[in-house]
Structure 1
Amino acid sequence: MNQRTLETLEYAKVKSQMRDLAACSLGKARIDAMVPFTVKDDAEHELAVVDEALQMLYRFGPLPFGGVTDIRSALRKAEIGGVLGTDELNRIVDFIQGGRRVRQALQVEPEQLDVPRLRQTALQLFDARKTEEEIRKAVGDDGTVWDHASPELARLRNQRRQLESRMRQQLEQMLRSHARYLQDPVIAMRGNNLCLPVRLEYKNQVQGIVHDVSASGATVFVEPQSVVESGARVRGLLVEEEREVERILQKLSGLVAEVAEELEENVAALGEVDQWFAKAAWARKEDCERPVLRQDGVWILRHARHPLIAKAQAVPIDLSLGDHHQMLIITGPNTGGKTVTLKTVGILTLLAMSGSFLPSRQPCDIGWCDDIFADIGDEQSIEQSLSTFSSHLRNIVQMFRQVTMNSLVLLDELGAGTDPAEGAALSMAILDHLKALGAKVVATTHYAELKVYAMNDSALINASMEFDVETLQPTYRLRLGVPGRSNALAIAQRLGLHASIIEQARAYVRTDDARIDALIESMEKAQRETERLHREADIAKRNVKALEAELERREAEFHTETDKLRQQAAAEARTIVERAKQESERIIRELRSRRDSGQVKDHELVELRKGLESALPRELERIVKKVRQREQIKVGAIVRVASLGQKGEVVEMSDDGETLTVQLGLLKMKVKQSDIELLQNADGSNSSGAAAGGRSVKRGLPRQMSLQLDIRGETVEEAISRIDKYLDDAVMNGLARVTIVHGKGTGALRDGVRRYLSRHAQVKEWIRGGPGEGGDGATLVTLQ
């Protein structure tokens, strides 16, 4: 990318805004080095990752980058065999821990948030946990090498401490015995030597080595002879200790060197992640939208603003280039915002090509270009004897050497600084050349000739910066399709210039120029009217959409209410059925109590229950049956096709369950759900819930009703009471055959039960259990 363009469009200032939002020095360095991508796919990938980072920021907040610093110098030192200090090792440990925290934060489950690119980056981060643990075993947070870093270091330090302890004991004893010779009763350190502060006049009374003299000369610091040898030994141990610490640090440096390459990759990856999140934080702060990069060289800016202008002050612009027009010519008064518009197009293109979001209310389309050329501002140079015109022309000459059909060219005050007629002619020639090259151009000018030039060429389109003549203030709004006016006479009149002078000036204005201004004024009025109509149409469109949404909401409420009423009706039907069954149970219990007195027989109870069930409303019974049948019919169920009167097997069901495919012998046909009657479920039970082959009754077998009764261990009297109730329940539930398990034992319980069964009214017959059925320890009962 052209370096001069980056400087002209103040690219570094925008990067500085992003840099302030980076969490660590690695991200700041990445942003400092950021330039537009040269390959569109790379920029697309960057935008996608920044989009994921922005989603994570909104959902979980910023990443924990604490401890992540630039450790590359320490890694390179370790790689070439250097010995790392404890501070460098601690920085490496902090980096490893910080990288792990970032890695864990990025590993978001897809169910929570779908950020595949960030998750993939997290998986690529190397976790040097083993190296971290080895360093932490030997080096503390404060840089201390622990005693347990090695057995040798522990031994040396223990020996030194023991010697120092004995030396202190000796010196403390001398403090008491030589107190009259001492300046102060304290033990002083001079270098690595333990000394006594002896008065100068008594220095010969204490045998030893003088290591220092006080500033006043009144005190000498003497290492007593009794501890000299021990002191020498301590100093020797200190030297050995330093060598051992050096050896330990060398070993740890070797461990760091083993993973240096992986950690360097982590440095690069974490710097990149920090850069992504800095871009995302900037996008959130500036209310940005993700741009759409286009290969066809089309720019469509929608409510876009310059990132260096405060949001509260910036006036968004709408602009299109490259779709129908190759060049955009912007005219209008000074300080109206022409140059800002020019820079907005340029800086937004640079940011989009850098993989950054753009400050706009809606997503903008940005044409991908190989380079951007900008000639903006007054670059007059006294030292180089260059006028404004010469400076602009020199820049344009340099552009022509590099411009291609995929370039974006931004020209401010084209042709300014020279004779208007020649300047306008030269400007049109320059635009003709750029048009022939196929480059996309945005240019600003004051020349009326260029307005006419743009109106007569379909490749060009006029645009203007709106100016309020009443207030004499620019509105900074860009109007496409309408050239601008200088408004010099209107401004002069508003400021109070004498009317005669204004009239005289109008007389000097060329007729052609006056007609052009009148035409422009008419076009401006027409465009304002068009915009008013567009606004009204937009309001009407929004109202229609609101009405459509209201109708859809009411329709949804209607369907919801209908479903609710249907469910309520079904619930009421189930309540009626349940109430009828409860009533039948109550009557039967009452009649059973009478039966105990011999007034009613069991078969009468069954008939009475059938009568109660048949007393249910037919329509309600049909609805309940249909609902249950719909729930029970599965593939494999045996059904009857009512319209044909034939039985078959369900082999396939539609997704909504309304249409079934039934195998009728050799014939397979599709049948509606309403034309089906369930005979047997897919699990082998019949439509009532009883086992296939059992007796068909209206009620199914309750889940708590067992097919056998175990009475082992009971007395005959207790067993008969339970058997009586069990057989009643079996008859009521339509069981044809049950088993009573009584065991063999002495045979008393077996004989008593069988005698009772022989005279029971509901027992058709009983037989002893066969092989696998309990043998003589069980009795199989067939009911009436």
Structure 2
Amino acid sequence: MDERALDALEYEDVRGEIAKCAQTSLGQARASAMVPFAERADAEAELARLDEAVRMLYRVGAPPFAGIESLEEVVQRARRGGTISADEANRLARCIAGMRAMRQFVERAAEGGDFPLLASSVAPMADLRRTEQEIRQVVDEDGQVIDHASPTLLRLRDEKRRREAEIRTVLDRLLRTQAKYLQEPVIAMRGEHYCLPVRVEHKSQIPGMVRDVSSSGSTVFIEPRAIVELSERVRELEVLEEREVERLLYQLAAAVAQVADDFLRNLNVAAEMDFVFAKAAYARRVDGKRPRLTDGVWRLHGARHPKLHRDAVPIDVELGDRFRLLIITGPNTGGKTVTLKTIGLLTLMGMSGLFLPTKRESDIGFCRHVFVDIGDEQSIEQNLSTFSSHMRRIIDMLERVTPDSLVLLDELGAGTDPAEGSALAIAILDHLTSVGARVVATTHYAELKGYAFRNPAAENASMEFDVETLRPTYRLLMGVPGRSNALAIAERLGMPKEILERARSHVAESDIHVEDLIGKLEAASREAERMRDEAEQALREARDQAADLARQKAAWEASKDSMREQAAREAREVIERARREADAVIREIRSLRDRAAVKDHELVELRKRLEAAEPGEKRAAPRRRAQAEVRPGQRVRVLSLGQKGDVVEVAQDGRAAVVQLGAMRMKVDARDLEVVGDAQPAAAPSVTRLGGAKDVRMELDVRGETVDDAISRIDKYLDDAVVAGISRVVIIHGKGTGALRNAIRRYLRDHPHVKSSEPAGPGEGGDGATVVHVRT
């Protein structure tokens, strides 16, 4: 990659920002040395790995890199047979621990399979825990060799501490006993010697060796003879201790040399991971989006220059698909150069495997070379004008340009005669187009606007300018050439009208028409962009509504399933409760039947319990027959009373009927009647007739029936007897075991229609029958 292009596009600023995001000096060095990839596959692989790093950064944070530092020189020295210091050994141990922690963090985060590329990046790292343990057996975390590093070192240091304790004991005793000879009661160190500050006139009172004299000569520093031998032993022990420490550190260096290759490989992986996560942190800072690398096609959506970041006006740029040449026009300070740099710098970033500061995912054309002619390199020493400096750079790129190159030209043809400059610019653009390179050029020449209209491989674009405020908007308008706006600006600034009119008279009529056409194109472009923004807003709102409806539907489906499960569970509980209650009622009925002492109200109560235990909604009331079906003589049930009776008379309109209920007659609405039976057949000889009532036999035979069936028939028979006005009837039940007989007699004692009852006489069945006296 051309270094001049990197400098002109301020690529170094991106390097510096990424280096600030690195956590180690290794990552900072990688960021400072970053360059675009030479192969597209390498850049795409790096973008895929960076995508995982960004997702991991947002999900669980960045891996720890504490303790990891550049220790290649220390390891290489150990490999060559040299030794290491205790501090270097401590740093090696911390670095090994830091690299292990970084690897474990990535592996734990990748256990779900979400970060396979990062997991594969740390997979080659070797486990150096054993080397770390060997170091920690000798050197502590403060970088000091510990006493228990070896038995010899422990013995030497123990003896040294004892000797030093003896020295202090002797000195403390001398301070107390010889205080009158001392300048002050303190112990002074002179080099490696423990001395007492003795007044010069009393120096003969304390035997020992004079090690120093004060500047005034009034004090001599004497090492007492009593500790000289002890001090010599301490110094001897220090020498032996130093040799033992050197031996231990040399052993550590040998251990490090054995794993030098593994350590350097781990360090390289750690540096690469720090670099990747520094790029991920930079992507988060600039709100970067992952670009798509293409074969020479650029589609930038809402692109911003990284250096300007939030202050930049986003631009949309296309290049390389419908056209290969983009000519940008517009006023000075309108943003043409910034647009040019934005296109170039984002191209370099995409080729470097970086996310781009764009509104959404964009396309970047991967190219072999990026050639740039931006800025003024006028040189007084080399006698080069602005035009000459531009021409030298352009000539150089023309010699090296290829079809897969991106060429960025700022103010093409400027610095010379406009006619010749525009002609030269068109010739240069023709050559670049014929080569097949992608070109973005800025210019002020009106001839180049027409050139872009005529050339099918070219497209116009312009930087928008607000004539009302006399300020550029820095928005790029694709497909619209820029206007000069010189006369409009002069008019807004107060230029006299006669001068403006005279100026307009010198402008060719065709140029005026072109300016008007450009103005209309600008207005149409702004209207199209406004409508596009509204459409995008409507699309976003529709998508949000669709997503909201989808969420509501999913919630409703989940709620429906939950309610269905709850209803099924409650239904099962109700059925189980009903089943238990029914079983209890059945058991109680059987118990009452066995006791043969069932009373009518007990059966009614049991029936109510059984009906109440029925699960689900209450059964619908029996469908009533039509009023025309109620006829005299029918057996009916009055629904509102729950009593049975016989229809005596039916009104002509069929809406009401007179019903005989025992000894009582009442007029009932036909809708309140339920037909339960038709009129009885013709009466036998042993019946009596009362008015319009039906014939009823004088006896009822229930032998062989169950208690429930017999009592049901007796209940209906007594109702019929009351209606018929019969005062005495006989119920034949037989003798048998006596269970049926006893149950019937108990039932008759409490029946409301029974006045009294007694066993039948010998001629009527004896104890196998019961005579009943009915209330009439």
Once the two structures are superposed, the pairs formed by residues 630-649 of structure 1 within 5 Å of their partners are none
Residue type of the alignment partner of 1:89: A
Q: Does 1:88 align with 2:91?
A: no
* Cα distance in 2 between the residues matched to 1:170 and 1:551: 92
* Cα distance in 2 between the residues matched to 1:540 and 1:154: 80
Q: 1:474: how far off? A: 0.7
Deviations along 1:416-439, one digit per CA (max 9) or x if unpaired, are 111111111111111111111110
Change (3 A) 1:453 1:144: same
Q: 1:168: how far off? A: 3.3
Q: Does the 8 A contact of 1:21 with 1:282 survive in 2?
A: yes
Q: 1:408: how far off? A: 0.3
Alignment match, 1:265: 265
Q: 1:4: how far off? A: 0.3
Once the two structures are superposed, the pairs formed by residues 437-448 of structure 1 within 5 Å of their partners are 437-448=435-446
Q: Secondary structure at the match of 1:359?
A: coil
Match of 2:368 among 347, 358, 370: 370
Alignment match, 2:765: none
Alignment match, 2:197: 197
Q: Secondary structure at the match of 2:108?
A: coil
* Cα distance in 1 between the residues matched to 2:517 and 2:399: 39
* Cα distance in 1 between the residues matched to 2:567 and 2:249: 82
Alignment match, 1:341: 339
Residue type of the alignment partner of 1:141: E
Q: Secondary structure at the match of 2:498?
A: helix
Alignment match, 2:225: 225
Match of 1:416 among 414, 431, 443: 414
How many residues were matched structurally?
609
Alignment match, 2:434: 436
Q: Secondary structure at the match of 2:427?
A: helix
Q: 1:566: how far off? A: 5.0
Change (3 A) 1:151 1:519: same
Q: Secondary structure at the match of 1:358?
A: coil
Q: 1:561: how far off? A: 6.8
The runs of 5 or more residues in structure 2 that have no matched partner are: 599-605, 619-776
RMSD across aligned positions (CA): 2.9
Residue type of the alignment partner of 1:459: A
Once the two structures are superposed, the pairs formed by residues 281-320 of structure 1 within 5 Å of their partners are 281-294=281-294, 296-311=295-310, 313-320=311-318
* Cα distance in 1 between the residues matched to 2:54 and 2:24: 18
Once the two structures are superposed, the pairs formed by residues 317-716 of structure 1 within 5 Å of their partners are 317-542=315-540, 545=543, 566-567=564-565, 570-571=568-569, 573-590=571-588
Q: Does the 8 A contact of 2:460 with 2:480 survive in 1?
A: yes
Alignment match, 1:164: 164
Q: 1:270: how far off? A: 1.4
Q: 1:216: how far off? A: 1.9
Deviates most, 506-515 or 397-406: 506-515
Q: 1:170: how far off? A: 3.4
Residue type of the alignment partner of 1:367: G
Q: Secondary structure at the match of 2:400?
A: coil
Deviations along 1:756-781, one digit per CA (max 9) or x if unpaired, are xxxxxxxxxxxxxxxxxxxxxxxxxx
Q: Does 1:211 align with 2:242?
A: no
Residue type of the alignment partner of 1:301: L
Residue type of the alignment partner of 2:22: A
Q: Secondary structure at the match of 2:254?
A: helix
Change (3 A) 1:150 1:571: closer
Q: 1:391: how far off? A: 0.6
* Cα distance in 2 between the residues matched to 1:57 and 1:345: 28
Deviations along 1:94-116, one digit per CA (max 9) or x if unpaired, are 21222122122212345657111
Once the two structures are superposed, the pairs formed by residues 737-776 of structure 1 within 5 Å of their partners are none
Q: Does the 8 A contact of 2:110 with 2:119 survive in 1?
A: no
Deviates most, 523-532 or 282-291: 523-532
Deviations along 1:503-560, one digit per CA (max 9) or x if unpaired, are 1111111233223222222322332333344344445545655665576567667756
Q: 1:61: how far off? A: 2.5
Residue type of the alignment partner of 1:305: R
* Cα distance in 2 between the residues matched to 1:541 and 1:14: 35
Q: Secondary structure at the match of 2:53?
A: helix
Alignment match, 2:761: none
* Cα distance in 1 between the residues matched to 2:165 and 2:616: 106
Percent of aligned pairs with the same amino acid:
55
Deviations along 1:368-393, one digit per CA (max 9) or x if unpaired, are 00010000112211111111111111
Q: 1:124: how far off? A: 2.7
Q: Does 1:277 align with 2:277?
A: yes
Q: 1:241: how far off? A: 1.3
Residue type of the alignment partner of 2:301: R
Q: Does the 8 A contact of 1:428 with 1:450 survive in 2?
A: yes
Change (3 A) 1:469 1:216: same
Change (3 A) 1:572 1:60: closer
Q: Does the 8 A contact of 2:575 with 2:615 survive in 1?
A: no
Deviates most, 13-22 or 373-382: 13-22
Deviations along 1:604-656, one digit per CA (max 9) or x if unpaired, are xxxx9xxx99x989999xxxxxxxxxxxxxxxxxxxxxxxxxxxxxxxxxxxx
Alignment match, 2:243: 243
- TM-score, structure 1 length as denominator? 0.73
Alignment match, 1:639: none
Alignment match, 1:771: none
Q: 1:267: how far off? A: 2.0
Q: 1:208: how far off? A: 2.4
* Cα distance in 1 between the residues matched to 2:388 and 2:275: 41
* Cα distance in 2 between the residues matched to 1:517 and 1:52: 51
Residue type of the alignment partner of 2:470: L
Alignment match, 1:8: 8
Q: 1:320: how far off? A: 0.6
Q: Secondary structure at the match of 1:210?
A: strand
* Cα distance in 2 between the residues matched to 1:252 and 1:597: 102
- TM-score, structure 2 length as denominator? 0.74
Deviations along 1:463-508, one digit per CA (max 9) or x if unpaired, are 1111111111111111111111111111011100011111111111
* Cα distance in 1 between the residues matched to 2:178 and 2:104: 66
Deviations along 1:587-620, one digit per CA (max 9) or x if unpaired, are 24435756987999xxxxxxx9xxx99x989999
Q: 1:186: how far off? A: 3.3
Alignment match, 1:717: none
* Cα distance in 2 between the residues matched to 1:195 and 1:443: 85
Alignment match, 1:640: none
Q: Does the 8 A contact of 2:463 with 2:474 survive in 1?
A: yes
Deviations along 1:85-139, one digit per CA (max 9) or x if unpaired, are 1221121122122212212221234565711122223333333222222222222
* Cα distance in 2 between the residues matched to 1:158 and 1:78: 30
Residue type of the alignment partner of 2:403: M
* Cα distance in 2 between the residues matched to 1:96 and 1:292: 38
Q: Does the 8 A contact of 1:104 with 1:122 survive in 2?
A: no
Q: Does the 8 A contact of 1:43 with 1:353 survive in 2?
A: yes
* Cα distance in 1 between the residues matched to 2:445 and 2:320: 23
Change (3 A) 1:412 1:22: same
* Cα distance in 2 between the residues matched to 1:222 and 1:535: 94
Q: Does the 8 A contact of 1:213 with 1:220 survive in 2?
A: yes
Deviations along 1:652-674, one digit per CA (max 9) or x if unpaired, are xxxxxxxxxxxxxxxxxxxxxxx
* Cα distance in 2 between the residues matched to 1:552 and 1:72: 57
* Cα distance in 2 between the residues matched to 1:174 and 1:539: 94
Q: Secondary structure at the match of 1:238?
A: helix
Change (3 A) 1:591 1:373: same
Once the two structures are superposed, the pairs formed by residues 8-27 of structure 1 within 5 Å of their partners are 8-27=8-27
Larger of the two Rg values belongs to structure: 2
Alignment match, 1:116: 116
Q: Does the 8 A contact of 1:297 with 1:322 survive in 2?
A: yes
